[in-house]
Amino acid sequence: MKVSYLDYILRNRLPVTIFVAVAAFVLTFFASRAERDGVGYTPDQPINFSHKLHAGQMQIDCQYCHISVEKSRFAMVPAVETCMNCHKVARTDSPEIIKLTKYYNEGVALPWKRVHKVPDYAYFDHSVHIDKGIKCESCHGEIKNMNKVGQMNSFTMRNCLSCHRNSHERLPYIEGISKGPEYCYACHR
């Protein structure tokens, strides 16, 4: 019995093609999950910097180190010079400060590993959120209690829209806060 070419494709190649397409989708979906929501991502950094010590115990305001957060889209990681404002004299014999001083003396920027990242296709402006009175920990978690910073909240569209739609519930410390923008162009420019 002779099998037609169409029968051959339907019986042999189509199931394989469907399987490969589904497998590629599933692998891509799960492999990119950390990039999409990043929750739990807590990389080792070149300097073991404790936010628990600096922001928690010493109560140094986030904006002392992340200077551009109130004026710019980006919070920016601090320059080595910012750290050295204190560490030219404070704890200079600590192994971590000795490493920090080496970066400073060589004029090399610290190669911090980025922890919090909004996808490239989305527009986010820190300054707008800071101007509205939104606290850093609303998105970044209780940074002042972290020895090692990790991503505690998802930065997916679903999570951002949830906050924009339910601002009064998610940000109860801001009296009279209104809903955030929900139109596409607010974040996709």
The arithmetic mean of pLDDT across residues 141-146, rounded, is 96
Pair (12, 57) in one structural domain: no
Lowest mean pLDDT among 27-36, 70-79, 153-162: 27-36
Range of the structural domain that residue 24 is part of: 5-31
Pair (50, 25) in one structural domain: no
Q: Give how far the C-alpha of residue 90 lies from the chain's centroid of Cα atoms, to the nearest Å.
A: 30
Average pLDDT of the chain is 88
Q: Scan for tokens 């029968």, then name that residue.
A: 7
Pair (72, 9) in one structural domain: no
Pair (68, 13) in one structural domain: no
State the pLDDT confidence band at 24, using cuts at 50, 70 and 90: confident
Task: Identify whether 26 is part of a domain.
Answer: yes
Give me the pLDDT at residue 178, please: 86
Pair (25, 117) in one structural domain: no
pLDDT tens readout for residues 38-66: 899 999 999 999 999 999 999 999 999 99
Give the side-chain half-sphere CA count within 13 A for 58: 12
Residue of 4 and 108 predicted with greater confidence: 108
Task: Identify whether 132 is part of a domain.
Answer: yes
Contact 143, 55 (CB under 8 A): yes
Closest to 91 (Cα-Cα) out of 59, 61, 56, 47: 47
Residue of 100 and 24 predicted with greater confidence: 100
Pair (27, 116) in one structural domain: no
Pair (142, 120) in one structural domain: yes
The arithmetic mean of pLDDT across residues 115-140, rounded, is 91
Task: Identify whether 120 is part of a domain.
Answer: yes
Give me the pLDDT at residue 31, please: 59
Task: Identify whether 139 is part of a domain.
Answer: yes
- Report the domain count for the chain: 2
Pair (139, 49) in one structural domain: yes
Model pTM?
Answer: 0.74
